[in-house]
Amino acid sequence: MLRVGIIGVGAMGAKHLENFLDGKIKNAQITALCDANEDNIKRYKDKFDNNVKCFKTPSNLINSGEVDGVIIATPHYSHPELSKEAFAAGLHVFCEKPAGVYTKNVREMNEAAKKCGKVFQMNFVMRDFNRFKKIKEMIDSGELGEIKRFVWILTDWYRTQAYYNSSAWRATWAGEGGGVMLNQNPHQLDLMQWMFGMPKRLRSFCYFGKNREIEVEDEATVYFEYENGTTAVYITTVGEFPGTNRLEISGDKGKLVLENGKITFYNLEMSEKEFNKTTDTTAGPIPMKEITVDYEENSVYNCQVDMINNWISAILFGEKLIAPGEEGIKSLSISNAIYLSTWNDDWVDFPFDEDEFLTKLNEKIDSSTYVKKEIKAAKGGLNFHS
């Protein structure tokens, strides 16, 4: 049985803990918990025997000798620092998204993971969704042909002012490190690079405090260009209701649309390029079939269980990871570049200047409304309140 500790027993940490309590996690047991808020731990203490140790600081848990691996479910800034400390102690790491707030620190985390050689997984749970696995399969197999363009409209993130008022660190540069791109969208940014690869460059337009009284962005529109000629538009906000979640992918062999859980493939009988070369018509149409793509839906709750079980099986039995931790830097690179493009009012090419980004982020932190002393001193490195 793998011994596991959870650092941060607030929102996501509590969900992981409940999955252990419900017997959904195999070949592992919780042996340690840590949270600065004692009430978060007291909620569960009577459900464990005395073999579960409780700690007030991450360092004490990490160096306790009570665990073989840790689940890190803390605010964004602390992810790289806690992961690096865990790797230094020879522990396996399962880390919540995003990998961090800025890529320079995450790059150091990846180096520590490589040096340690332990199993490192990011909780990019949407990679386990059957709908996205099916879409990736269709892209990788060439069923869609060469990808020309995709558009993702993600405006179903509706959040009220009460949500942002619920914690002082929320939606601040010093406490959270960003807004809708860093909080709500990391899973989708990860899916983008997982399915389409990394972009060549982007141009973004972020709007800060447009819909809510917050200092970070609550709306963004981004234009992407890829080395192979693919272009993309990404639109997201927390300020619209009802919202839309629609992914539209245009390929040489047709168009795929994912919306409301349904995948529709408009499959061309002849590729667009071939039709264009051979037809005498001036505007088409190209003969096609409208196909509803079959897949077995799975819930986010089941996928969360899958992710933890996959991490444990990778440690114990060498199973392939669903979301290797080192890949967390890719989606973070995209969100960092989105901020940098808006701040500079210009295009950003990949790879971008990580030092420039960090300098500008620190300027935002220094003027942030969230002035918690330890975050100001360490740029968020060790704050771990859930």
Instruction: Please report, to the nearest 10 degrees, the dihedral formed by the alpha carbons of residues 92, 98, 104, 109 taken in order.
Output: 0
Angle of helix 300-317 relative to helix 11-21, nearest 10 degrees?
Answer: 70
* 0.95 surpassed by pTM: no
- Cα–Cα distance between 99 and 110 in angstroms, integer? 10
Taking residues 11-36, report their average pLDDT: 95
| Residues 292 and 264 sit within 8 Å (Cβ to Cβ) | yes
Q: In sequence order, which residues have a C-beta less than 8 Å from that of residue 195 and are 6 or more positions away?
A: 132, 135, 136, 139
pLDDT of res. 167: 86
Q: Cα 180–341–230 angle (5° rounding)? A: 90
- Cα–Cα distance between 323 and 194 in angstroms, integer? 10
pLDDT at residue 367 greater than cutoff 80: yes
Q: What is the pLDDT of residues 84-109, one digit of tens each?
A: 999 999 999 999 999 999 999 999 99
**Residue 156, CA distances (Å) to 62, 153, 159, 239, 240 in order:** 38, 9, 9, 9, 7
Same fold yes or no, 2-125+305-325 and 127-297 = no
Q: In sequence order, which residues have a C-beta less than 8 Å from that of residue 172 and are 6 or more positions away?
A: 214, 215, 216, 368, 369, 370
Furthest-apart CA atoms within the chain: distance in Å: 80
3-class state of residue 56 by DSSP = coil
- Residues forming beta bridges with residue 299, ordered by sequence position: none
Backbone angles phi, psi at 303, to 5 degrees: -70, -35
CA dihedral over 60, 66, 68, 73, signed as positive or negative? negative
Angle of helix 328-344 relative to helix 103-116, nearest 10 degrees?
Answer: 160
| Percentage of residues of the chain with pLDDT beyond 70 | 96
- Cα–Cα distance between 108 and 92 in angstroms, integer? 16
The CATH label, of 3.90.550.60, 1.10.1740.10, 3.40.50.720, 3.40.50.970, for the domain at 2-125+305-325 is 3.40.50.720
DSSP string, 24-37: -S-SEEEEEEE-SS
For the range 308-312, what are the long-range contacts, defined as Cβ-Cβ under 8 Å and sequence gap of 24 or more? 308/16, 308/19, 308/25, 308/28, 308/71, 308/94, 309/24, 309/25, 309/26, 310/121, 310/128, 311/69, 311/92, 311/94, 311/119, 311/121, 312/2, 312/4, 312/25, 312/26, 312/27, 312/28, 312/69
pLDDT band at 374 (very low <50, low <70, confident <90, very high): very low
Q: What is the pLDDT of residues 227-255, one digit of tens each?
A: 999 999 999 999 999 999 999 999 999 99
Structural domain spans, the chain? 2-125+305-325, 127-297
- The closest alpha carbon to 33, from 58, 12, 50, 11, belongs to 58
Architecture of the domain whose range is 127-297: 2-Layer Sandwich (3.30)
Q: Cα 103–195–138 angle (5° rounding)? A: 170
- Cα–Cα distance between 330 and 334 in angstroms, integer? 7
Residue 381 has which token pair?
């490195």
Q: What is the pLDDT of residues 115-158, one digit of tens each?
A: 999 999 999 999 999 999 999 999 999 999 999 999 999 999 99
CA dihedral over 103, 105, 110, 111, signed as positive or negative? positive
pLDDT of res. 376: 44
pLDDT of res. 372: 52
3-class state of residue 263 by DSSP = strand
Alpha helices in 197-345 (DSSP H): 272-278, 300-317, 328-344
